[in-house]
Amino acid sequence: MTKKKVVLISFTDFENPVLSGLQTKMNGQANAFRELGYETECLYLYGKKVVNDRGDFVKSLSGFSLRNSFFSAVESRLKSFDKTPDMLYIRYPFSTPGFIRFLNAVRSHYPDIKIVLEVPTLPYGREFVLFQKWKLWVDSYYRKNLIKYTDLVVTYGNEQSFEGIQTINLTNGTEIPDLAINNINKEEIFMFVAVGNWRFWHGLDRFLSGMSKYLSQSPEKDIQLLVIGDGKDLAKYKDITEELRLTRHIRFLGEKTEEDTKKILQKAHVGVGVLGSFRKGLVSHSPLKHRLYAICGLPFVFSTDDPDFSGKAKFIYQFPPNEEPVSIQEILDFYRKGSYPSVEIINYAQQQLSWKNRMEKVVMFFISN
């Protein structure tokens, strides 16, 4: 019996190490489809090339619009297949004339193909500031055409539809690797770690303010924060660190490989999750960093509800979604009073967070509809 085929598409430049988490996500989704019996191929941007994950397709892009060149190359790749793909799973790149033309061409060439758009954040308007807002105008004008070509929208919130298209609500998953179990000497400096492609909605400033307040009040324990990653607002967080005189307690480590990041996480006591998603209007979310902490067996803190952890997992501590500094003392008390064996946290991740479980819901949608 011939396997069905799904093609995962992302206009995301994976040459940029800041976006390595998104590439890990795409690979996890692809592996989940494989486990479900699909032949898969990933097509994504790498610098000025479109490449696939198997390494047997690379096409250099040229022309005025990198976006248009990308989707033209993807269209050509689809036409080169021996058989028609059964599904396209596309990370939503915002609507433009070129993207709508691509969808129209695919639907015209493959009338029966299933087209799924993954919209990672809704609402997404607050992610754009100043001159970037022109992208929102273009998107809002052209996305009205999506309903003509799209069968399903995957979201990570509670929306029942997107531009009139039915949605299915998921949370982010993860792949569960074999990891060494966290083994910490609890008498050492208490180590926090924060991972991110740093933007204002990560709310790291709330944690920095909390550190400053804690250290000014005869602290019972010496603390340190390791910050991994880059991003548009990293410089702002460094400035806050200087202003609050926290440089002795904070180390900015820059970008790290996935392997090195996991090694650092395994030596920490508590992970710092997202503390400011409310700033872009979210009441629920499922950040990839929370899943990374869990697969590394690390307790962590955050604010805005995460459905896979809020009210379910004992190894998380949740702060209110507001602008108040987080209480470091509350975190230390939470850690001291609880027992959070790494093996139990990893077991929770294995049972609750697999990508296979999430992609199976997408497959079942088309089986039952």
DSSP letter string over 62-79?
A: -SS-HHHHHHHHHHHHHH
Domains in the chain, number: 2
What φ, ψ does residue 115 adopt, rounded to 5°? Answer: -110, 120
156 in the same domain as 201: no
pLDDT tens per residue, range 285-298: 999 999 999 999 99
Task: Fill in the DSSP letter of residue 217.
Answer: S
158 in the same domain as 13: yes
pLDDT tens per residue, range 63-79: 789 999 999 999 999 99
Q: Is residue 288 a part of any domain in this protein?
A: yes
CB-facing half-sphere around the CA of 44: CA atoms within 13 A = 25
**Where in the sequence is the domain holding 300, given as residue range(s)?**
190-352
pLDDT tens per residue, range 96-136: 999 999 999 999 999 999 999 999 877 776 666 655 677 78
Which of residues 211 and 131 earns the better pLDDT score?
A: 211
Question: Which among 76, 83, 80 has a CA at the least distance from the CA of 60?
Answer: 76
305 in the same domain as 204: yes
330 in the same domain as 197: yes
Among all chains, which residue has been given the structure tokens 């047997």? 56
Strand 316-318 to 39-46 pairing: unpaired
What's the pLDDT at 253?
97
pTM value is 0.85
Q: Is residue 197 a part of any domain in this protein?
A: yes
pLDDT tens per residue, range 326-339: 999 999 999 999 88
